[in-house]
Every structure is written in C-alpha cells, then in structure tokens.
Structure 1
Amino acid sequence: MALAIGFLLFPDVQQLDLTGPYEVFASLPGAELYLVAKDPSPVRTATGLVLQPTVSMSDSPQLDIVCVPGGRGVNALLTDEQTLAFLRGQADGARYVTSVCTGALVLGAAGLLEGKRATTHWNALDLLSDYGAEPVNARYVIDGNLATGGGVTAGIDFGLALAEEIAGRETAEAIQLQLEYAPAPPFDSGSPETASKPVVEKVKQQTAAIRSEREALAKEYAERR
C-alpha cells in the first residue's frame, strides 16, 4: 500500500531538518515522498542548497504523513495563513502530523499542538507552551498521531522512531543499518546541558534576533488563544 509522505518546503528551511528524515522515510516500503511548496519555483535553503518542489500546496494529495521542518524561514510561516490552512486541512486526514526542530512552532501556529506533548530545538522549547503544548526536552516525542523531533540532527532519530511505528522495529533497524547511523561525535557539545557555557552563549547570541521575533509571535498567539 502506498504511503504518501509530504515535507513542507519553504525559503530558508534548514535542509538537514528535511533531508535527515527524508532519507529514512524514503526507505519505507511503499513510500511516496513529496516536497510541498506554495508554487513550483526552486527553494533556497538556509545554508544555500537549492531544492526543487515536487508538488504545490493546491495540488498536493492527501498525505498520510505531513512533516514540517524548521529553520530561520519558520518565522515567516507563523502568520502565513495559506501555509497554516494547508496544514490544518492535511491534519484532518493524515495518519501522522509531524515536525522537526522549529517546525513544531508552525504546527503550533496552525493550532495543532493544543494539549499535546511536543519537542523542538532547545532554543525554542519554552515557546511551545504559548501554543498550548507541553514542552518535553527529548530527541523526539510521539503523542498519539503527533510526532515531533528535536533540533536538526534529531530528525533522523524522529524518522527512525516513526518508521518503527509504521513498519515495525526490524524494518526501522534495517534502515538505520543501511544508513550506518551510529553517531560518535568528536565533541560532547550537542546540547546546552553538555556544551560549555561560552559555546552556549555564543549560539544564543548568533540566533538572538531570530529568537526574539519568534518569542514575540508566540506571545501574540498565546494572547489570542
């Protein structure tokens, strides 16, 4: 049976948020993957990689899995009614509604996080409560048909966990082995709990403007709830 999986594609998306789980889902039996954007124009990611949409929002089939990646381009989506309406419409018929990194904020802005446990990038985790979610500091969280991944590389973990839900553990483990996903980073600085204080502060300073805008938009949403 075909499994329609769609990733939202938008300017300044964080490409690994998308391509990490894409690589996992592409190995699922019967998977049909779509890159869904507003129009067919090529989309430039936050790091300069150009991706080609495969279907527009208006032409997208009903998706079994809809996935919203994150990135600095997320901010523009938080008040983009066309995107939010598309997600609400897809969520009505989807088997799973999902996100990676700050894509969770977009699900929140679409009203899809209310009363749910969810996670996102560590530098946006506290904002989830403004969207009615219970923030969870984890690599991924599955709550009913909502599945959210943490920051960037956590999208692979999220993808494998969802692959197990859909196709069973053996299939998910086989995908992991095929990808040789056995992380052994040279530094133990992949979370604010393990990174040094100067490194954490440096990252916060680098993302301060984006964080400030997201915080303001989250507060506006919370006031409307």
Structure 2
Amino acid sequence: MHAQIILFDGFDPLDVIAPYEVLYAGGTASGGALSVELVSAEGPREVVSGTGGLVLRATAALDAARPGLILVPGASGRVGEPGEVPDQHAGADEWRPDEFIPVLLGRTLTTELPALLKAAMDNPDVTLGAVCGGSLVLAMAGLLEGRYATTHHLGLDMLDATGVHAVKARIVDDGDLVTGAGVTSGLDLGLYLLERMVGPRIAHAVEELFAHERRGTVWRHQGPAPAGL
C-alpha cells in the first residue's frame, strides 16, 4: 500500500507532517506493508509552507493512477473573514507568507491539482483523505458535491455552500473519502487510515509509540439518526 501526501504553495506543515509520521511509522511497524512520500502536482520541487517559510521537498509528481491513499492538506496563513471569496486568478508566483488561507486554498485551482484529484476520485483503487482546509480544496474543485466531509470549524459553512454534507466531527469516513477537521486532527486521521489500511494492531502500536490516543468517534452515514438531543 502506498500513500501520497500533497504539497502546494502555502500548505500547513502540521497537516502534512502529522499524518506523514504516523503512516511512516506504520510502514515500519508493518514490515514495509505501507510506504509514504511527499508529492506535488508539478513534480519534484521545494515547496514553501505558509508557516514561517518552512520548506519541504516533494520527491515526485502526484500519480492519480497509483493505487493507495492520496492525502490533501490545508493551508497555513491569515484567517479570512467568513464568506471571503478566494482569489482564484492570482498566479502561484504571487504567493506571500501573509496570505489569507482562503486565497491560498483557492490558488490551488489554478494549478494541475484539480484535474489530478478528479482523476484520483475516479480511480476505484484510490482512497482520498483530507486534513483541515484540504476538504475545501476538493470542494472548491467541485469534487465533493453530495458527499459527507468535515473541515476546520471555521470552514464548515463554506463546505456546506459547495453542496457538501458538512459534518461537525473530528473524522468523517465516507468510504473512499476520509476527512479530518482542524489541524491536529491530521494525527487522528493518520491513525484511522493506518487502521483501515494495515490493521488495528499496527495502529495501536503507533499510538503507543507516539503517546497519543485517537480522539472521538469516527462519523459515518450509518445507523439511526439521533433524536431528542
């Protein structure tokens, strides 16, 4: 099993590093049953995050045809006002470290990323994951209409406005789409995906190694609807 974690200009480092470390440790604990790499839509390159200019290197181009997991992080920057419309026409070379998060997320739509994510969603052998604003990237690309997903609590209304069934939960499992809420949920998302892909014993071992227990109930559109709460 292979996991590809996407980097784009202005990405949030914690959205990337938390699931990367979990999945990497899971690969080690499983004797190599899982591998993970950092990728970008453009191919191998140095990618600048939205946090203090921290740079991570994408070692390969995103391969939408490769079976496994593809994970989309959110962005790090200034918090935009509710309802702010992303500037989707600004070029990537205009990125600044003080950009508003909605602008950074919207700028991904000017790259090859939406087409690659569409191809990945059409691939029955791929599971898509997203942390925080990564769900908004997918939603703004028109890929989540009618699906169940979550994102950072400040972005739930925006998610709902794109035709997504926005769920206020830490992790939402919608089959081949698994999404996490705020930035620290990337750790829990990674552990849940590890359990799904490799098994609960491996996920539990990584939990113990990281001294972290996954929080909350994973939300699924199953069972009776709650009443009287």
TM-score range, shorter chain: 0.7 to 0.9
- Decide which of 104, 110, 113 is 1:83's aligned counterpart: 113
* More moved, 29-38 vs 43-52: 29-38
Alignment of 1:110-149 (within 5 A): 110-149=141-180
Kindly state the Cα deviation for residue 111 of structure 1 after the two structures are TM-superposed.
Answer: 2.8
Identity of aligned residues (%): 37
CA contact (8 A) 1:84 1:109 kept: no
Determine the structure 2 residue equivalent to 1:33: 36
Determine the structure 1 residue equivalent to 2:93: none
Give the secondary-structure state (helix, strand or coil) at the position aligned to 1:123: helix
Kindly state the Cα deviation for residue 182 of structure 1 after the two structures are TM-superposed.
Answer: 4.9
- Decide which of 33, 57, 61 is 1:56's aligned counterpart: 61
Distance 1:118 1:182 in 2: 22
Kindly state the Cα deviation for residue 98 of structure 1 after the two structures are TM-superposed.
Answer: 1.0
Kindly state the Cα deviation for residue 63 of structure 1 after the two structures are TM-superposed.
Answer: 4.1
Q: After TM superposition, which residue ranges in structure 1, 4 or more long, deviate above 3 angstroms?
A: none
CA contact (8 A) 1:36 1:60 kept: no
Instruction: Rate the CA distance shift 1:98–1:60 in 2: closer, same or farther, 3 A.
Output: closer
Give the secondary-structure state (helix, strand or coil) at the position aligned to 1:124: helix
Determine the structure 2 residue equivalent to 1:20: 18
Q: Can you list the C-alpha shifts for 1:127-181, whole angstroms capped at 9, x where unaligned?
A: 1122221111111100111100011101111111121222222221111111112
Query: Does residue 1:74 correspond to 2:105, yes or no?
Result: yes
Distance 1:53 1:98 in 2: 18
* Greater helix fraction, Structure 1 or Structure 2: 1
Aligned residues: 180
Instruction: Rate the CA distance shift 1:60–1:119 in 2: closer, same or farther, 3 A.
Output: closer
Return the TM-score normalized by structure 2: 0.73
**Gaps in structure 1 of 5+ consecutive residues:** 184-225
Distance 2:35 2:175 in 1: 23
Kindly state the Cα deviation for residue 68 of structure 1 after the two structures are TM-superposed.
Answer: 0.3
Return the TM-score normalized by structure 1: 0.74
Determine the structure 2 residue equivalent to 1:199: none
Amino acid at match of 1:136: V
CA contact (8 A) 1:129 1:135 kept: yes
Distance 2:115 2:204 in 1: 35
CA contact (8 A) 1:102 1:120 kept: yes
In angstroms, what is the RMSD of aligned CA positions? Answer: 2.0
**Gaps in structure 2 of 5+ consecutive residues:** 76-100, 215-229
Distance 1:158 1:60 in 2: 21
Amino acid at match of 2:120: Q
Q: Can you list the C-alpha shifts for 1:5-36, whole angstroms capped at 9, x where unaligned?
A: 11110111000001111111112332221211
Distance 1:97 1:112 in 2: 11
Give the secondary-structure state (helix, strand or coil) at the position aligned to 2:58: coil
Alignment of 1:132-171 (within 5 A): 132-171=163-202
Kindly state the Cα deviation for residue 109 of structure 1 after the two structures are TM-superposed.
Answer: 2.5
Kindly state the Cα deviation for residue 114 of structure 1 after the two structures are TM-superposed.
Answer: 1.9
Amino acid at match of 2:54: L
